[in-house]
Amino acid sequence: MSTLKEYYDTQNVFAKILRNEIPCSKIYEDEFTLAFHDIAPKAPVHALVITKNPYISFADFSKRAAPEEMVAVTKAIGVVAAKLGLKENGYRITSNIGHNSGQEVPHFHFHIMGGRPMGIIG
């Protein structure tokens, strides 16, 4: 069970990736975002788009992020999906928020998953 803190934990794994303390398999980067392959893919294609700024989750991001950062994340998802060849057959984006979602890494990120039919949510 994940225990998520109220404050941003600078020792979370994505913070370490952003500080180049641990490697990632980078797909895309811009001023506000970094995208890389998930280390334990749950689909044939499974990428993560994370913010460079420290937000705990989408809830935190939606409250505090500047509009240009929100645009950047939205656009990055589209760019990464296209780069990974997911446009034709489609894909799923997901962002887990807090305990009930099963969020493991307390740094805001979107999952991009595809490469097979993803099934019905529910």
- Token pair of 34, please? 């970094």
Which of 25/74 has CB closer to ligand AMP? Answer: 25
- Does 13 contact ligand AMP by CB under 6 A? yes
Among 84, 2, 1, 100, smallest CA distance to 43 is for 84
- Does 4 contact ligand AMP by CB under 6 A? no
- Binding-site size for ligand AMP (CB under 6 A) equals 13
Binders of ligand AMP among residues 92 to 111 (CB under 6 A) are 96, 102-105
Strand partners, 33: 51
- Does 39 contact ligand AMP by CB under 6 A? yes
Provide the edge-to-edge strand list for the sheet that holds 109-114.
26-29, 33-37, 45-51, 109-114, 91-94
Amino acid at 94: T
The answer to whether 29 and 48 are in contact (CB under 8 A) is no
Which of 49/88 has CB closer to ligand AMP? Answer: 49
Could you confirm whether 109 is annotated as catalytic? Answer: yes
- Does 12 contact ligand AMP by CB under 6 A? no
Residues lying near ligand AMP in the complex (CB under 6 A) are found at 13, 22, 24, 36, 38-40, 48, 96, 102-105
